[in-house]
Amino acid sequence: MSWTEEEIKFLERLDDPDKIQAFLDSIDYNPAYECRSPRWVIRKKSAHCFEGALFAAAALNFIGYKPLIIDMKSFNDDDHVIAVFRVDDHWGAIAKSNFTTLRYREPVYLSLRELVMSYFDFYFNIYGDKSLRSYSSFLDLSIYEARDWKTTDEDLEYIGDKLESLKHYPVITEKMIKNLKKASDTVKKAALLGSNEEGLFKPVQQ
């Protein structure tokens, strides 16, 4: 299935990564355990982080970028998926998140690791425990064109399974973990501004 004429007109307005991020920021956070296509996101105006990353990858692909996503794994917290893009050999990212601090990144990072590490101090659970532990190599969603991943009514959990199977690279050692400090109350308050409480991960209190 291809984009409809109405969807094409909508996507043509998102002709810059920042505009794609602005659309994701404007829609509701989806707390449901499901994974729907970018078409569903456009129609329902709702997405969680995985759906948001898939939508961003599709919108980036529409304006000429490769549809690439990366998985970030956490401890005692939600994992996070971002769409990544490259401008003049520098990486940036677009993301949907219940936390304001885990969204857009300008394309100023020389490597994927450098990009991922820009999230580290702002990646924490509701208790302020910094939780990012590893990240995957990128997944090029072009391999799923035959399954119409952008427009299908099929649940896309199979993409999540593929992400899960990719090699993940640690960002922190066990010694560093023991010395981590909690996010400040001010940063927590800013990060949770406008969040959907139903969609927040409920961590085990350490």
pLDDT in tens, 73-85: 999 999 999 999 9
Two tokens at 136?
């995957």
The pTM of the full predicted model, rounded to 2 decimals, is 0.97
- Give the model's pLDDT for residue 205: 80
Show me where the domains of the chain are located: 5-196
CA distances from 101 to 29, 53, 140 (A): 15, 15, 25
- How far apart CA 77 and CA 97 sit, in angstroms, is 13
pLDDT over threshold 90, residue 158: yes
- How far apart CA 11 and CA 1 sit, in angstroms, is 16
Q: Given CATH 1.10.260, say whether it is the number of domain 5-196.
A: no
- Give the model's pLDDT for residue 72: 98
CA distances from 104 to 6, 53, 54, 92, 175 (A): 26, 11, 14, 8, 30
In the numeric block, the tokens 């969680």 are attached to 48
- How far apart CA 37 and CA 184 sit, in angstroms, is 36
Report the mean per-residue pLDDT for the chain: 97
Confidence grade of residue 22 (pLDDT, cut at 50, 70, 90) = very high
In this predicted structure, which of 1-5, 70-74, 183-187, 189-193 has the lowest mean pLDDT? Answer: 1-5
The amino acid sitting at 91 is: W
pLDDT over threshold 90, residue 13: yes
Per the model's pLDDT, the better-predicted residue between 206 and 99 turns out to be 99
Segment 116-140 shows an average pLDDT of 98
Query: Smallest Cα–Cα separation from 52: which of 23, 85, 92, 91?
Result: 23
Segment 174-202 shows an average pLDDT of 97
pLDDT over threshold 80, residue 1: no
